[in-house]
Amino acid sequence: MNVDELTEKARRYCAYRERCTREVEDKLHRLGSDPEQAARVIRTLRSEGFLDDKRFAELFARSKFEHNQWGRIKIRAALLAKNVPEEHISTALASIDGKSYRDTLKALARKKTQELKGRDSSDVSAKTAAHCIRKGYEAELVWDIVKEMGAGSNPQP
């Protein structure tokens, strides 16, 4: 396949949804391109606005936070796995509103607590915290929220 054909396939691939450089490189490799061809195609896609890792990182972070309720740690790990540059990751994570982040974590913790209703309160707290930490939220923040919820909703005699 020549560079023009590869470029056209890559344009369609990028037009479908936002992509990062690594995803495009993998696609070009699967299509049989050599490294020199892939580099030319990627340069073309960047110059035409089809490929932008900063834009990808910001959309990815917003999407995973809003739709999947992922925390910053999990989002960072996923972007690092896609070889997105650190400066783009930092910018993307900084764009997540702090109040919204905390409110989402509270809602996530409340929902998990409701699912565990009727169990020992320390078991509920531990399982709720573990769930939120697995979703990528910072452990210290998670425990602060879990303690706030425990103090307000289930006072001990």
Same domain, 103 and 146: yes
147 shares its domain with 117: yes
Same structural domain, 86 and 43 = no
Same domain, 107 and 148: yes
Question: Distance (Å, rounded) from C-alpha 96 to C-alpha 115?
Answer: 27
Q: Domain total for the chain?
A: 3
- Domain housing 126: 98-153
pLDDT digits (tens, 9 = 90+) for 10-67: 999 999 999 999 999 999 999 999 999 999 999 999 999 999 999 999 999 999 999 9
**CATH number, domain at 22?**
1.10.10
CB 76 within 8 A of CB 93: yes
How confident is residue 155, by pLDDT bands cut at 50, 70 and 90? very low
The radius of gyration of the chain's CA atoms, rounded to the nearest angstrom, is: 21
Is it the case that residue 156 has pLDDT exceeding 70? no
Shared domain for 78 and 107, answered yes or no, is no
Q: What separation in angstroms does the CA of 121 have from each of 95, 105, 110, 115, 157?
A: 35, 19, 13, 13, 13
What's the confidence (pLDDT) of residue 115?
Answer: 92
**Residue 78 predicted with pLDDT over 80:** yes
The dihedral built from the CA positions of residue 32, 11, 87 and 95, taken in this order, carries a sign that is negative
**103 in the same domain as 89:** no
Provide the whole-model pTM: 0.88
- In a 13 Å sphere around the CA of 59, the CA atoms on its Cβ side amount to 10
Give the model confidence (pLDDT) of 103-147 as tens digits: 999 999 999 999 998 888 778 999 999 999 999 999 999 999 999
How many other β-carbons are positioned within 10 Å of the β-carbon of residue 25? 19
Among residues 22, 32, 20, which one has the least CA distance to residue 9? 32
Q: 35-48 vs 3-16: helix axis angle to the nearest 10? A: 50
